Structure 1
Amino acid sequence: MILTPHPDSDPKALSCAVITVSDTRTVETDRSGALMRRLLSEAGHQIVFYQVLRDEPQMIQAQLMDWGKNSQLQVILLNGGTGIAPRDRTYDAIVPLLEKTLPGFGELFRLLSFQEIGSRAMASRAIAGIYQNKLIFSVPGSTNAVQLAMERLILPELNHLESVISQS
């Protein structure tokens, strides 16, 4: 049984940025970033920035800090670099910047992944939190993982979460 959240009383288009973290993908070959952008657009959100970055923590942090200064940007979504391989360093780059974390996001993502792929889900370091009053979501780079995170977790709660942090 899939539970759905209460509908938001006033859903609105949010300004979103997407980063694909990969040492091998390009804008032309980035299927996961394209899927993420398409799902956001179909849900009525605006993609204002898109970037493919190598899995270099300093580059990821510099991009987040730059976009963190943009008062119009509300959500930053990253895909890729969340595993445990030596080059998977997205999690390590993001964690020091987060002012608050949403532990439930990673926990639920791993639970849903476990239901699809089994025990290998434990290797995911998917994470979400808040940085510079912006929602940050970081998920694995596979298209299946992006679809799962977007459809089951991020899109159903995006407006609600943004409305909670914008009240401050």
Structure 2
Amino acid sequence: MSRIDETKDFVPVRIAVLTVSDTRTPDEDRSGAVLVERIEKAGHTVAAREILRDEREEIAAKLRDWCADPGIDVVMSTGGTGLTGRDVTVEAHRDVYEKEIDAFGTVFTIVSMQKIGTSAVQSRATGGVANGTYLFALPGSPGACKDAWDEILEKQLDYRHRPCNFVEIMPRLDEHLRRK
């Protein structure tokens, strides 16, 4: 079972938070605030935070910019993962991914089922990797952001988490770009 190995040092990561919404302002961004609070409480750094409209090309461009920034290790977006016509965050993420973390969406669905039952089928949470950066698209509700962080991301972004975690393989995410 998973556990924290207290003999290892904590390694903070730099995380950017993107809220995708046509209507939210910084003062009304409860989901982004939930993520920022949890990121900082865990000992990580919030490297950037923005709000963008539900526009696929704008979202993908911001994801690419942040993936190219050496000061950002992880990008978490919130919002735009549903089924309506304006929900394009998942498509924007997939435009950027080099590899998708298929199990992230599956595990998120399992966690959600325990909280909201079959309504979990309406989320398309996803995760992937691009340019050595992890990307996660989370639903726009504060509860879903809490669930994703508390049940999955807090553990996987902790270098001490065993048997394995995302941080320990971070230096190898872009190894294909360094091969000769």
TM surpasses 0.5: yes
Which structure would you say has the larger Rg? 2
SS of the residue corresponding to residue 165 of structure 1 reads: helix
Match of 1:161 in 2: 166
Alignment of 1:22-101 (within 5 A): 22-101=21-100
Unaligned runs of 5+ in 1: none
- Alignment-mate amino acid for residue 132 of structure 2: N
- Using the TM superposition, give the Cα deviation of residue 139 of structure 1 relative to its aligned residue in structure 2, in angstroms: 0.6
SS of the residue corresponding to residue 50 of structure 1 reads: strand
SS of the residue corresponding to residue 18 of structure 2 reads: strand
SS of the residue corresponding to residue 51 of structure 2 reads: strand
How many Å separate the matches in 2 of 1:106 and 1:7? 26
- Using the TM superposition, give the Cα deviation of residue 6 of structure 1 relative to its aligned residue in structure 2, in angstroms: 4.2
In structure 2, do the counterparts of structure 1 residues 101 and 10 end up closer, same or farther at CA, with 3 Å as the change threshold?
farther
How many Å separate the matches in 2 of 1:54 and 1:21? 6
Unaligned runs of 5+ in 2: 159-164, 176-180
SS of the residue corresponding to residue 75 of structure 2 reads: strand
Deviation track 1:63-119 (CA, whole Å, cap 9, x = no partner) reads: 111112111210100010001111111001111211111111100101111111111
Match of 2:18 in 1: 19
Q: Any runs of at least 4 consecutive aligned residues in structure 1 with deviations exceeding 6 A, and if so which? A: none
- Using the TM superposition, give the Cα deviation of residue 11 of structure 1 relative to its aligned residue in structure 2, in angstroms: 1.9
How many Å separate the matches in 2 of 1:68 and 1:43? 22
How many Å separate the matches in 1 of 2:168 and 2:71? 14
CA contact (8 A) 2:83 2:122 kept: yes
Aligned-residue RMSD, C-alpha: 1.3
How many Å separate the matches in 1 of 2:2 and 2:144? 19
- Share of identical aligned residues, percent? 34
Out of 65-74 and 158-167, give the one that drifted further. Answer: 158-167
